[in-house]
Chain A
Amino acid sequence: MISDLFSMTVLVGILASGIRLATPYLYASIGETFSQRSGVLNLGVEGQMLLGAFAAFYVALTTENLWFGVLAAIVVGGLMGLAMAFVTINLHAEQGISGIGFYLFGLGLSDLLFQKMLGTVETVKGFPKVHIPVLSDIPVVGEIFFRQNVLVYIALALVPLAWFVLNKTTLGLKIRAVGENPEAADSLGVSVARIRYFTVVLGGIMSGVAGASLSIALLNVFQQNLTSGLGFIAVALVYFGAWRPWGVLAGALLFSLINSLQLWVQVLGIPIPSDIAVMMPYILTILVLVLTVSRVRPPSALTKSFERGD
């Protein structure tokens, strides 16, 4: 039974679906990395994802254009990000608490809109798999990496891009400065508020797209509480990845591969209690936080609001 797992087809299947399942985490966590690097813990990702997922699904269903769906998710996620930015930056709200408010708001509103505008669970024809010429024909590797839908490719491309922006550009330098020492950044003429508005709205947009990647590329349905905690995990992944895009990628793959493995274990009827397997990444996240504590430090100003002294 267990040996079934180690056949080539199954292993390739596990890896391919693992990469696919990592997309919602990647979008949301990369966005959250920017927010947290600038000092804002956006705990409302889950709510932003839910509204993005609904918007994308509804628009894709009615216009029959998937890209309009993605655009809707970007707009909705961006608006939610804007609200989050206003609450944390202008009103100096406690970030952990306001995030829970945004979670409940998104959970409630997406359910309300779903019930009133759709009523039943429908399916949409999501983004198809795109076979990349030549590369998709490489045995094993081709099947795992190069026969995915377009949102998967974009998500993977965002990782080096995010790394580059954060570490090699002036904007990235400003973001990190604002997150480490907002007073110093301010005295050097960097607008703390403007940088944080940028990162939090960006985070909202990315969370919206993360929702879209679920509802119109991965699952192709919308229902109540579609994300069921993915957004909260995305926030934790930023800690797991030590605020670095490549670390976030590793964390996202770990979570999604275990999920994918567990799905296959169920399909093959192997008697491993899946609930125990699903617990592992959460335990591992806590362990990683504890073990890396001496080497990795969160951005100094994380969760601290900044008030400009006159």
Chain B
Amino acid sequence: MAFRIRTEQRVEVPKWLPTATSIGSVIIAFILGGVIFKIVGGKPLQALSFFYQAVFGNWGVFSDTLVKATPLIIIGVACAVAFKMRLWNIGAEGQFYAGAFGASLVVLVPLVPLDSPKVLVIGMMMLMGMIFGGIWGFIPGYLKAKYKVNEIITTLMLNYIIINWNNFWIFDQWSDRGFQMTATFDRVAWLPRLADYAKEVKAFSGVTLHLGVIFGIIAAIIVWWIFRYSRWGYEIKLIGDNPNAARYAGIDISKNIILVMAFSGALAGLAGMSEISGVVHRLQESISPGYGFTGIIVAWLAKLNPFTIIPVSVLFAGLIVAGREIQPTGLSFLLQGIILFLLISSDVLIRYKIRLVRVDKETE
């Protein structure tokens, strides 16, 4: 008697299955990561408790985690928009830096007088962040729509271009007394933080959570709405699922490639603005520990659902915060890699039924 593994394409996917595979991937990744960590001489249980502290611990630490989750939420949503159309925007990292640069211009040029009301300065920084991030998404979008140049390569190249561009300004032009950073921005350019209200609410003292997290939540709501109710969202989904059908339906694919890339870039640019206005308060080198890449995994793990991106970002931010305590920080990247690997593997379970079937000798 012989057995054979047979796979059949699923006609209908059970509603709970994608969620189950996502959660399962995370749990198995933690176990695998723990085993690897143990083998090389780390203390996985202690690491896990750091992680638990980061996500469920006291307010102070949890607020740190939310601060780290903020750019991930915005970038995750940005990636989800592009991925829905099967546009592989690998350049969120660069669009983030472009947004940070654009927002910094407002303060460093300055584009508005720095004694203007805070609303004006912050609003201007948001606008410039989104414009610069948007341009950094527009370029690969335009090149793909017009010349069919692969967006993965152009977005990658643009990452390096903007990082060097920023370094040029930070080192050569705006350097603060020779340090590799600009001078600290005037307080008018800082996003409001909970700590600013410590006088009114004592519990807020020292809590660094800033307004950027609201940007993330609003971005998620808007993108959810676009996909749920708007014609544009419908077009994006149709192009992603079946470009030929979209073409027959008279949808302008080139226009949408450009629009979606620019929109995705603008959101990632907003993340860059939020980070320098809410956390760093200056333009400096390495403002992102790979948010642009982690955001890709966040979007994928959340199955491109804008609301799911929020808790997934908190989870990954917890990894980043815990990584500071655990040392080396590499563990958090390792886990991200394993999670994505498992997630991709588990997609097979979603697409196919896997069965063990008995094979009769005669029919073989």
B341 A87 Cβ-Cβ under 8 A: yes
**Smallest beta-carbon distance B348→chain A, Å:** 5
When C-beta atoms are compared, the residue in chain A nearest to B42 turns out to be A116
Interface of B (DSSP majority class): helix
Known A105-B338, A236-B157: A100·B293 in contact at CB below 8 Å: yes
B171 A100 Cβ-Cβ under 8 A: no
**Smallest beta-carbon distance B312→chain A, Å:** 15
- Which one, A93, A108, A235, contacts B334 given CB within 8 A? A108
Q: Which residues from chain B contact A278 at a C-beta distance below 8 Å?
A: 164
48-98 of chain A: CB within 8 A of chain B? 83, 87, 91, 93-94, 96-98
For residue B234, CB closer than 8 A to chain A, the reply is no
Interface of A (DSSP majority class): helix
When C-beta atoms are compared, the residue in chain A nearest to B37 turns out to be A112
Give A275 to B143 CA distance when docked, in angstroms.
25
When C-beta atoms are compared, the residue in chain B nearest to A98 turns out to be B344
For residue B328, CB closer than 8 A to chain A, the reply is yes
**Of B148-156, B183-191, B215-223, the one touching chain A:** B148-156
Give A83 to B341 CA distance when docked, in angstroms.
9
A93 B333 Cβ-Cβ under 8 A: no
Known A104-B333, A232-B156, A289-B149: A93·B168 in contact at CB below 8 Å: no
140-175 of chain B: CB within 8 A of chain A? 143, 147-150, 152-154, 156-158, 160-161, 164-165, 167-168, 171-172
**Contact mask for chain A residues 20-47; partner B; CB cutoff 8 A; 1 contact, 0 none:** 0000000000000000000001010001
**Contact mask for chain A residues 98-130; partner B; CB cutoff 8 A; 1 contact, 0 none:** 101111111111111111110000000000000
Give A117 to B348 CA distance when docked, in angstroms.
36
Give A179 to B154 CA distance when docked, in angstroms.
22
For residue B243, CB closer than 8 A to chain A, the reply is no
Q: Which of B83, B152, B297 has the most CB of A within 10 A?
A: B152
A115 B327 Cβ-Cβ under 8 A: yes
A100 B330 Cβ-Cβ under 8 A: no
- Which one, A103, A276, A283, contacts B293 given CB within 8 A? A103
A224 B337 Cβ-Cβ under 8 A: no
B340 A107 Cβ-Cβ under 8 A: no
B172 A286 Cβ-Cβ under 8 A: no
**Smallest beta-carbon distance B175→chain A, Å:** 12
Q: Which residues from chain B contact A100 at a C-beta distance below 8 Å?
A: 90, 293, 296-297, 340
Q: Which residues from chain A contact B328 at a C-beta distance below 8 Å?
A: 111-112, 114-116, 224
A112 B90 Cβ-Cβ under 8 A: no
Q: Which of B294, B333, B345 has the most CB of A within 10 A?
A: B333
- Which one, A101, A109, A273, A289, contacts B153 given CB within 8 A? A289
Chain B interface size, as a band, is 35 or more
Q: Which residues from chain B contact A104 at a C-beta distance below 8 Å?
A: 290, 293-294, 297, 333-334, 336-337, 340
Known A98-B340, A109-B36: A275·B171 in contact at CB below 8 Å: yes
When C-beta atoms are compared, the residue in chain A nearest to B341 turns out to be A101
For residue A293, CB closer than 8 A to chain B, the reply is yes
For residue A269, CB closer than 8 A to chain B, the reply is no
- Which one, A102, A224, A285, contacts B157 given CB within 8 A? A285
For residue A290, CB closer than 8 A to chain B, the reply is yes
Q: Which residues from chain A contact B336 at a C-beta distance below 8 Å?
A: 101, 104-105, 108
When C-beta atoms are compared, the residue in chain A nearest to B83 turns out to be A97
A112 B331 Cβ-Cβ under 8 A: yes
For residue B2, CB closer than 8 A to chain A, the reply is no
When C-beta atoms are compared, the residue in chain A nearest to B149 turns out to be A289
Q: Which residues from chain B contact A41 at a C-beta distance below 8 Å?
A: 152
Apart from A104-B340, A105-B336, A275-B168, list 5 A-B contacts with CB within 8 A.
Answer: A100-B293, A100-B296, A117-B40, A282-B160, A290-B143
- Could you pull out 23 A-B pairs where Cβ atoms are within 8 angstroms? A43-B90, A47-B337, A91-B344, A96-B88, A100-B293, A100-B297, A101-B297, A101-B336, A102-B341, A106-B337, A107-B337, A109-B330, A110-B330, A111-B333, A112-B36, A112-B42, A112-B330, A239-B150, A275-B165, A275-B167, A279-B168, A283-B157, A293-B147
Q: Please report A residues at the B interface, Cβ cutoff 8 Å.
A: 41, 43, 47, 83, 87, 91, 93-94, 96-98, 100-117, 224, 229, 232-233, 235-236, 239, 273, 275-276, 278-279, 282-283, 285-286, 289-290, 293, 298
Please name the 3 residue pairs, one residue from A and one from B, whose CB atoms are nearest each other, closest first: A105-B337, A111-B330, A108-B333
